[in-house]
Structure 1
Amino acid sequence: MQDEWSPLASLDVTGSLRLDGNSDYASRLSPKMAVRYAPFDRVSFHASVGSGYKAPAFRQLYLNFTNPQAGYSVFGTTEAQRGLQQFEEQGQIDTFFRDPSTLGEPLAPETSWAFNAGFTASLWGDATLRLDAYHNEVDNLIDAEAVARKTNGQSVFTYVNRNEIYTRGVEARLTLRPTSALRVQLGYDYQEAKDRQVLDELEAGDVYRRENGRDVQVSPDDYAGLPGRPAHTGTVQLRHMALPFGLTANVQGTLRGRAGYADRNGNGIVDVDREYVEARTRWDVTVSKTLLDDYTLRLGGENLFDYTNPRRVPSIPGRTWFAELQAQF
C-alpha cells in the first residue's frame, strides 16, 4: 500500500507498507516514509526511512554452476558441501579459504532498516548536483563469498549470512549539459560496509594474524570490511546525440578502488594487502542509430583497455565487442 500527499505546496510526503509472505519463512511487514521539501525553485531536500526484507532466491539456495569459459564455480548453500567434496575428490581444489564443514547452513531471510538524506540543486543553466548520505543496518545479509581456489586458478563461491552489518556512505552526482546535444555526468561514491560482530572482536583484541613466525594482534583500522565493496568508486558518463548520420554515442568510465577479496591468512577477515583486489578502471562505448523509427542498431565495446584478473575478478572476461539490433512492436 502506498499513499502520497502534499500538506504544503513545497512539501511532498509518501508513506508505504509492504507485506511479504513466504511459505518457508515468517511473514514480514515493511514500512517506509519519504519526504521531499522544496523551499526554493532550484533547491530541494529529501529524506527517507524504511524497512526492507529479502528472502533467499532460488540461485542462492540451489545453484550449481561452473562457467565453462572462465572456469569459476558458484554453489547455492544446499549444494556447497557436496560440490566442494566432488571437486576435492576430482583433484580440482588447490586451497580452501574456509572449512567446508562450516558451509551448508540454511540461509535466513535478510532484513534491514535504511536511512537516507540529501538535496538536489540546480547550480547554473542545466547543471544539477545531487548529494545523498545514507546509513543501513542489515541483519542476516545474504552475501557471496569465495570459499576455495581451484587448481585452474579460479575461485569457488557460495552464499552466506552475515549477522549484523552496517553500510554507510555518501553519493554525489553532478550532471552537466555543455550543449543541447551533450550530457555529462560525474559521480563519486564513498562506502563503509562492516560486520559489527567482527568490530567487537577487534576492539576486544581477540583477532590475530601470523607474521614472520609470530602472532600479531589485528587492529580495527586493518579491517577492510565486507569483501567486494571498495571504499571509493567514481563514474564518468558522456552522451552525445548530434553526431553525423543521426548517430548517438555513449561513453561510460568506472574507477573502482581496491576492495577486499577473501581471507588468506586464516583469521576470517580481510586485513592484509594480499587479500585485496587491486584498484581498476573500466571504459565502455556504444554507438546507436535509430532505423525506420521501430529499429535501433547498436555497436560497441566493453572494457576497452582490456583489464583482466582471472583469479579474483573472473566476471570480467577482457575486451569484448558487440552488435545488437532492437525492434519495437
Structure 2
Amino acid sequence: MEITAGGRYDFIVNYGWRLDPFLAVQYKVAPFLTAKAAYSTGFKAPDMRKLYQVSFNPAYNYMMVGSAVLRNTINQLRESGQVSQYELEPVYNEIKGLSLNAEMSKSYNASLIFENLAQNIRVEGGIFYHDIVNQINPVLVGKDIQGRFIYAYRNFARAFYKGAELSFSLKATDQLQLSGGYQYLEAKDQSVADEIREGGKYGMPLFDPSTGYVNYSPSPSDYWGIENRSVHMFSGRVFYTFPAPKLTANVRVSYRGKYPFSDKNNNGYLDRFDTFVRGHYLLNAGLEKKLPKQNLSLRFTAENLLNFVDQKVPSQPGRLFFVGMTYRLNNKL
C-alpha cells in the first residue's frame, strides 16, 4: 500500500486565504490488479484574464471578454452598431456588472487498474465526483452582426460533475498497438434544479420555440446541464509500425455526444428545447517516415476526414491536411 498526503496554502488579496488538503491511496490487490482512491479540495481565484482581458480569436471567430469589463465592452459594441439587443443572450443580463467569486471544490476519485504480467494489456476503470462551489465557466453571451460569438465568464453556484471512465491499451504485436476510452458525464448546477423543484425563478412553464406553445411546468429532470458538456464521449486509436521502411501509421477516431450550446427559449437554463451541437465523429490519420541517416522525419496528417462542420463549432472548419518535417541536429538526442 502507498499513501500520499499533502496540502496547499493560498493567500490572494481580495479573496483571502485557503488551505487545501489531498490524500491518495494505492493498494496492490494482486500482481495484476491495483486499486486507487483519492480525495482533494481545491481553490481557484479568477485571474486577470478572466476579469479584465478582451481578446479575439480570428482562427475560431469568437471574442472572450473578462467579467469586470463585460458591460462596458458590450455597451461600446452596441454604440458602434456591432451588436444589437437581439443578438444578446438572456444570461448577459444575469451576469453583467457581477464580480467573479473564487472557485472552491471537493473531488472524489476511485479506480481499478488491471495489467497482465506481460504488461501488454492494461485496462482502467474508475468513477469520480466533483462538487464545485462558484465554478468559473465560459458562457455564450451573444454575437455581433458579423456572426462572431461573444463569450464571458460566470459562476455556477453549486456545480457538480459525476460519472465514470473506462480506458484500455493493447500491444497486440511489436508493430501493432491499440488504445481507447469512454466517459460518461453528468454536469449540472444543483441550484438550478432546486429552483425548478421549489417553483422559483426557473419554475416557469417550458416554451417550445419551434411551435410557439407553452407545454407544461418543468421538473428537475427537464434541466439538461452545463453548456459544452457531453454525456457520452469515446475515442479509439490504432498505431502500426512498418519496420523495414521505418514508417509509422496511425488512425484516431473520437465521438462526442450532443451538448447544449445556448438558451434558445430564454428561460435561464438549458432544456431539450434549446440549441444543441449534434453528436459527431472525428476521424484523423497520420503517416511518419523516418530517415535516420539524414536525421529527418517526414509527416503527413489528415484531420476531420468525415468533414464534420457546424457553425457552432468554429474549431472544426472542415477537412485539414498537413505536411511537416523534423530535422535533428544531433541524432543522439
Q: TM-score, normalised by structure 2?
A: 0.87
Consecutive unaligned residues of structure 2, counting only runs of 5 or more, are none
Confirm whether residue 226 of structure 1 aligns to residue 220 of structure 2: no
Aligned partner (choices 133, 144, 148) of residue 138 of structure 2: 144
- The within-5 A match list for 1:261-276 is 261-276=261-276
Q: Structure 1's 197 and 274: CA in aligned 2 closer, same or farther, altered over 3 A?
A: closer
Q: Could you tell which deviates more after superposition, 290-299 or 200-209?
A: 290-299
Aligned partner (choices 204, 207, 210) of residue 210 of structure 1: 207
Residue 5 (structure 1) aligns with: none
Shift of 1:183: 1.2
Residue 158 (structure 2) aligns with: 164
Show CA shifts across 1:213-234 (max 9, x none): 4463122222111010000001
Q: Could you tell which deviates more after superposition, 139-148 or 215-224?
A: 215-224
Letter in 2 for 1:174: F
Q: Structure 1's 20 and 296: CA in aligned 2 closer, same or farther, altered over 3 A?
A: farther
Q: Structure 1's 18 and 325: CA in aligned 2 closer, same or farther, altered over 3 A?
A: farther
Contact kept, 8 Å, 2:38 with 2:109, in 1: the verdict is: yes
Q: Structure 1's 113 and 188: CA in aligned 2 closer, same or farther, altered over 3 A?
A: same
Q: Percent identity?
A: 28
Q: Structure 1's 161 and 243: CA in aligned 2 closer, same or farther, altered over 3 A?
A: farther
Letter in 1 for 2:177: R
Shift of 1:104: 3.8
Residue 97 (structure 1) aligns with: 89
SS of residue matched to 2:193: helix
Confirm whether residue 309 of structure 1 aligns to residue 303 of structure 2: no
SS of residue matched to 1:81: helix
Residue 113 (structure 2) aligns with: 120
Shift of 1:273: 3.9
Q: Structure 1's 216 and 21: CA in aligned 2 closer, same or farther, altered over 3 A?
A: same
Letter in 2 for 1:113: K
> C-alpha distance in 2, partners of 1:243/1:87?
59
Shift of 1:318: 2.1
Q: Could you tell which deviates more after superposition, 41-50 or 239-248?
A: 239-248
SS of residue matched to 2:99: coil
Aligned partner (choices 161, 173, 181) of residue 187 of structure 1: 181
Aligned partner (choices 166, 190, 195) of residue 196 of structure 1: 190
Contact kept, 8 Å, 2:265 with 2:273, in 1: the verdict is: no
Letter in 2 for 1:233: M
Shift of 1:290: 4.1
Shift of 1:103: 1.7
Letter in 2 for 1:132: G
Aligned partner (choices 53, 58, 78) of residue 48 of structure 2: 58
- How many equivalent residue pairs? 318
Show CA shifts across 1:193-248 (max 9, x none): 11111111122234223344446312222211101000000111122233552122
Q: Structure 1's 249 and 48: CA in aligned 2 closer, same or farther, altered over 3 A?
A: same
Q: Structure 1's 99 and 160: CA in aligned 2 closer, same or farther, altered over 3 A?
A: closer
Q: TM-score, normalised by structure 1?
A: 0.88
> C-alpha distance in 2, partners of 1:307/1:72?
19
Q: Structure 1's 250 and 28: CA in aligned 2 closer, same or farther, altered over 3 A?
A: farther
Residue 18 (structure 1) aligns with: 8
Letter in 2 for 1:146: L
SS of residue matched to 1:201: helix
Q: Structure 1's 18 and 70: CA in aligned 2 closer, same or farther, altered over 3 A?
A: closer
SS of residue matched to 1:59: helix
Contact kept, 8 Å, 2:112 with 2:125, in 1: the verdict is: yes
Contact kept, 8 Å, 2:32 with 2:117, in 1: the verdict is: no
Show CA shifts across 1:26-78 (max 9, x none): 22211111111112111111100011122223321222122335432211112
RMSD of the TM alignment (CA)?
A: 2.2
Shift of 1:295: 5.3
Q: Structure 1's 191 and 99: CA in aligned 2 closer, same or farther, altered over 3 A?
A: closer
Q: Structure 1's 215 and 85: CA in aligned 2 closer, same or farther, altered over 3 A?
A: farther
Contact kept, 8 Å, 1:71 with 1:152, in 2: the verdict is: no
